[in-house]
Structure 1
């Protein structure tokens, strides 16, 4: 029985990583050894846990049920280790984190690097994607979410608010009358980020609030692409300040309607209610909140 606890841990890692090769890399084992360990577990249980193909692994019904128990075993084991780590002040373990792709070069990434330097025994695996990841199914310990959180069973902490700026290229702005009010932009071309609505909310220094709808025929699924096409004279785009600040400084982009503010973005840390690495997750969350 004790030997098969290790088999369960390997099986759970394979499911989390989605491949034998990636799991082997995380566990510092040969891929063949990882595959054989799961095969031995299947033989012991008398059921198939995973369907294998050249492209991906898929859990069987039995595998899905068994994964829940393997996960619970790991949670309990890691909770014990985390408790001892907390008592000994030695922070050891691995955290898997997901972040929006537009944060690859940002203050937040810099702070995560500082965390890694301060806690050299904590390993970090970062995934950058502009699409929301499934924290539970993908084995993510903590996710950075940007925007406005919906009600959720997840734990969350707001880290900070970030400004967004409305921009367009100097060449594009030169083809239009100088705007003084958001409604002057109704006929302008917009580049839309396809994971958000096409409604844009403005607020003036006097508190006037205006909402307009983007006039768009061009959409992208990447914040970096938004900036790229704005610089290529395709129209208006609104982006986090850190992405466009340098281009505004160089004159590649113009800050349009600077006297009007766009609704700021909330930056949140989100993690499962029952985290497998609760102490390490909370340690990182507190570090981010203090330094961002």
Structure 2
């Protein structure tokens, strides 16, 4: 019925059926048929018809004055919604882990903002799993398998966890041959990685170790600094210590045991339409992660 209301308003403002038909790119016969149908539904005549003009009846004039502002408001709302969904501008709110965002993902954010200068990016960083909907966020970065079917998800990549220590620490302490050896060592625990998992390569038998940290912190860079300083063993994502491993400040431990890998996902509410500004951020994260050797 909204289309018929718009048609009626167009006829009144055009002043004739032929002018309205031209403006709406419809056959005059179609307009006449739809106008008659609208009048039948309302139970009154809306227009006085003559050879040259179509003038509103009193009921038609009243109907026009009531419908026109409603149609204008609907049009403005539609245009606003279209701009919100399809324009590459506005604000994108993202929840993400501190360690990941300020480490391997650091260049992702800057390259995105340089590419899309009209988009404002708001990052809320926490190493705890924050409520995506409750925080009004458009997107969240999660580590580990995602089982909530109410959220859409896109795989960004996978990171290997490594057990590391400084050469100086290893030289001064007992050798480490298996997870049981960890009981003789000082351990650095970097939240939220609070369970250390290992699998023996020869038997594929997994073991889980719950470390009692000699030093515990919820910020990975400080944990890396402590490991580099010889404080103890650190179990953390490889991207966080890649520079230290390449320079020799840290080395991997227990080569006969395989550490776990963790999958990284972007997730978003499936109940909401994804605006273009969020879509391009998601695509950018996927592209950057695929091109990053540490995530594959």
TM-score strictly above 0.5: yes
Aligned to 1:30: none
Aligned to 1:221: 218
Aligned to 1:289: 286
Distance 1:145 1:267, change over 3 A: same
Aligned 1:68-107 pairs, distance under 5 A? 79-83=81-85, 85=86, 90-107=87-104
* Alignment coverage as a number of residue pairs: 212
State the Cα RMSD in Å. Answer: 2.7
Asked if the contact 1:161/1:266 (under 8 Å) is kept, the reply is yes
Q: Distance in 2 between matches of 1:245 and 1:236?
A: 16
SS at match of 2:241: helix
Aligned to 1:271: 268
Q: How far off its partner does 1:161 sit?
A: 0.2
Matched, 1:200 2:196: yes
The one of 239, 246, 250 aligned to 1:249: 246
Gap runs ≥5 in structure 2? 1-76, 290-296
SS at match of 1:127: strand
- Please give the per-residue CA displacement for 1:78-121, whole angstroms capped at 9, x wherever unaligned: 643244x2xxxx52221011221113444433233222222222
Aligned to 2:230: 233
Length-normalised TM-score, structure 2: 0.62
Aligned 1:37-76 pairs, distance under 5 A? none
Aligned to 2:146: 149
SS at match of 2:136: coil
Distance 1:224 1:135, change over 3 A: same
Q: Distance in 2 between matches of 1:76 and 1:136?
A: 24
Distance 1:208 1:282, change over 3 A: same
Asked if the contact 1:106/1:242 (under 8 Å) is kept, the reply is yes
Distance 1:268 1:207, change over 3 A: farther
- Larger Cα Rg: Structure 1 or Structure 2? 2
Matched, 1:174 2:171: yes
SS at match of 2:184: coil
SS at match of 1:224: helix
Q: How far off its partner does 1:205 sit?
A: 4.0
SS at match of 1:163: strand
Gap runs ≥5 in structure 1? 1-74
- Please give the per-residue CA displacement for 1:124-176, whole angstroms capped at 9, x wherever unaligned: 12233222222222222111112333435222211100112111222221122
